[in-house]
Amino acid sequence: MTAQSRKDLVKQGGIWAFIVAELAFFSIAGQFLSVSDSAFMDLDNMLLLLKQSAPIGIIALGMTIIMINGNIDLSVGAIFALAAIVLLDSMTWPFMQALGDWAIPLAWVFALLTGVVLGAINGLIVWKTGVDAFIVTLGSMLGFRGLVFMYNGEQPTSHLNWSLVDFAEAQFLGLHTATWFLLISALALWLLMTRTVHGRNAYAIGNNRDAAVNAGIRVGPHFIWNFMLIGFLAALSAVVFYSESGSVNPNDGMLYELWAITAVVLGGTKLAGGYGSIISTLGGVIAIQLLRKGLGHIGADTQTVNLVIGLILIAVLFLDRQLNRKGKEELKI
């Protein structure tokens, strides 16, 4: 361990410390406040926690890469919804129905492809126009949502396929299908970011785009790949979630982008780009889900949940900053 990685550990350790604090708090408070007899930290409950973290979690993983890359993607919620529509609706197409259960993998492919294509559109616009990704994806957040509504008006799109539900509800080695998807995605992306040139270039570009351009890195195509990747992941999240629920409202996935970004930032990734970690994002996602679950566990009412979640976000940000302070000698900037 170099001094560098130790420093990173402290820098990124905050989120795990926070998770431990949450666990402790809800376990103790649960003793007094919860009507349920089962303990909060029960294994099944923790496994559920991972499962429930999957929808936002998978998106947040992609968001980590986009943000390390120095961009942001506000359209993921809309991509999520559109991919879900394609997933469910495609299974009702005549030729697909003729395929029986073989329609399922094909429907997945269609949905994932939808995500990739929408991501590519974002990436292409960001690259070619040079407009900031925040603005481009703020626009496509609206535009893609428009496509969602165009598909089925304001009505939900539904198709309940029980084989699909059974698959999605299955548990393998104790972990739910959704958890597997989350963990495998995390592992793959972690390898991508730490071991490959693509990952390292993502850091370089996010850190100093001009430097990357000057060094001859093809920044534009690189952007497209990453936007396709997050499009893919948003669609994957939809595939995982809607396989189990079978119906999508045109408003589904709204605000997901903001929760995903929150999880990423809680994990310590810099909004400005160039710095961040996939594993810490996983921490951020779990921290948020834990907070929701824990507040439900101790019976907090709606207004308290809203108030507490909001203030905790801010508090974590504050703590993180205190932890990373350089000390008194610091430049007062």
Partner 1 sequence: QTMTIGITQNNVGVDSYQTTYERAFIAAAEANPNVEAVVLDAGGDVARQIAQMEDLIQQEVDAIIIWPTNGEAVIPAVRKAHDADIPVIVTNSNIAEQGFDFVASFSGPDNITQGARSAEIMCDKFVDMGIQDEARVVQISGQPGYTTAIERQEGFEDRLPEVCPNVTLVETQPGDWNREKSQQVMEAFLVKYDDIDGVYAGDDNMGVGALNAAKAAGREGIIFVGATNFAVGYDAMAAGDYWGSIYQSPVDDAEAALQTAIDTLNGEELPFLNYFDTPKITQDNMEEFTKPVF
Partner 2 sequence: MAGLTKQGMVQILARQGILIAFAAFMIGFALVNQRFIAMDNIFGVVRSSAILGVMALGVTFVVIGGNLDLSVGSMMSFSTIVVLDLHDKIGPVMAILAMFALTLALGAFIGFLVGYLKLNSLIVTLGMLSAIHGLTLTWSGGKNMDIADKAGTWFSVFGQGSALGIPVPILIFGLLAAALSLLLSKTPFGRRVYAVGGNGRAATFSGIPRARVVFMTYIVSAFCVATAGLLQASRSLGSQNTVGQGMELEVLAAVILGGASLLGGSGTVFKTVIGVLILGFIQNGLLLVGLDFYVQYMVTWAIIILAVWLDVAAKRGRLWSPIA
Partner 3 sequence: MTDPVPVLRLEGIVKTFPGVRALDGVSFTLLPGEVHALMGENGAGKSTLMKVLGGIHAPNEGQIFVSEEPTVMTSPMHAKAKGVVFIHQELSLADELSVAENIFLGELPLHAFGRVDWQKLYADTDAILKALNVGFDARTRVGDLSIANQQMVEIGRALTVDPRAVIFDEPTASLTDSEKVVLFDVIADLQKRGVGVIYISHRMEEIFKITDRISVLRDGQYSGTLHTAQTNEDEVTQLMIGRSLDLSRAENTHQMGEIALEARGLSCGKLFRDISFNVRKGEVLGFYGLVGAGRTEIAETLFGLRTPSSGQILLNGEEVRINSPIDAIRLGISLVPEDRKDQGLVLGMNCRDNMTLPQIGDLTAGPFVNEGAEGAIFDQYRDKLDIRTPGWRQIVGNLSGGNQQKIVIGKWLSMRPQVLIVDEPTRGIDVGSKAEIHNLIRDLAAQGLAVIVISSEMPEVLHVSDRIVAMFSGQIMRDFTAGEVTEDNLIQAISGISAEKVA
State the residues that interact with partner 2 by CB under 8 A.
125, 127-132, 134-136, 138-143, 145-150, 153, 213, 218-220, 254, 258, 261-262, 265, 271, 302-314, 317-318, 321, 332-333
Using CB under 8 A, which of 77, 246, 273, 284 touches partner 1? Answer: 246
Any contact of residue 197 with partner 3 (CB under 8 A)?
yes
Could you give the CA distance from residue 273 to residue 133 in angstroms, rounded to a whole number?
A: 12
Any contact of residue 11 with partner 3 (CB under 8 A)?
no
Would you say 193 or 224 has its CB closer to partner 2? 224
| Nearest distance from C-beta of residue 215 to partner 3, angstroms | 4
Using CB under 8 A, which of 31, 97, 129, 155 touches partner 1? Answer: 155
| Nearest distance from C-beta of residue 177 to partner 3, angstroms | 27
**Exposure b/e, 68-80, CB count within 10 A at least 16 = b:** bbbbbbbbbbbbb
| Nearest distance from C-beta of residue 306 to partner 1, angstroms | 8
Q: Which stretch binds partner 3 (CB under 8 A): 105-113, 176-184, 213-221, 287-295?
A: 213-221
Q: Which token pair is 120? A: 């590519």
Helix (H) or strand (E) holding 187: helix 177-195
Any contact of residue 207 with partner 3 (CB under 8 A)?
yes
Could you give the CA distance from residue 202 to residue 209 in angstroms, rounded to a whole number?
A: 10
> Hey, which residues between 223 and 242 contact partner 1 (CB under 8 A)?
241
| Nearest distance from C-beta of residue 169 to partner 1, angstroms | 7
Tell me the three state secondary structure of residue 204.
helix
As a whole number of Å, the CA-based R_g of the chain is: 21
Could you give the CA distance from residue 232 to residue 59 in angstroms, rounded to a whole number?
A: 9
Check: CB of residue 151 under 8 Å from CB of residue 89: yes
Would you say 35 or 98 has its CB closer to partner 1? 35
> Hey, which residues between 251 and 280 contact partner 3 (CB under 8 A)?
274-275
Check: CB of residue 288 under 8 Å from CB of residue 266: yes
Q: Which token pair is 161? A: 């396929």
Q: Which stretch binds partner 1 (CB under 8 A): 111-119, 129-137, 182-190, 297-305?
A: 297-305
Which residues lie closer than 8 Å to 13 by C-beta, 6 or more apart?
none
Q: Which stretch binds partner 1 (CB under 8 A): 64-72, 116-124, 197-205, 289-297?
A: 289-297
Could you give the CA distance from residue 24 to residue 46 in angstroms, rounded to a whole number?
A: 13
CA-closest candidate to residue 258, choices 78, 33, 17 = 78
Could you give the CA distance from residue 233 to residue 236 in angstroms, rounded to a whole number?
A: 5
Q: Which stretch binds partner 3 (CB under 8 A): 31-39, 53-61, 109-117, 207-215?
A: 207-215
| Nearest distance from C-beta of residue 53 to partner 3, angstroms | 27
Could you give the CA distance from residue 58 to residue 63 in angstroms, rounded to a whole number?
A: 9
Could you give the CA distance from residue 233 to residue 235 in angstroms, rounded to a whole number?
A: 5
Using CB under 8 A, which of 203, 241, 256, 259 touches partner 3? Answer: 203
Would you say 38 or 129 has its CB closer to partner 2? 129
Q: Strands 247-248, 157-158: parallel, antiparallel or unpaired by DSSP?
A: antiparallel
| Nearest distance from C-beta of residue 202 to partner 2, angstroms | 15
Residues that bind partner 1 (CB under 8 A): 35-38, 42, 44-45, 48, 51-52, 55, 153-156, 158, 160, 165, 168-169, 241, 244-250, 252, 292-293, 296-297, 299, 301-303, 305
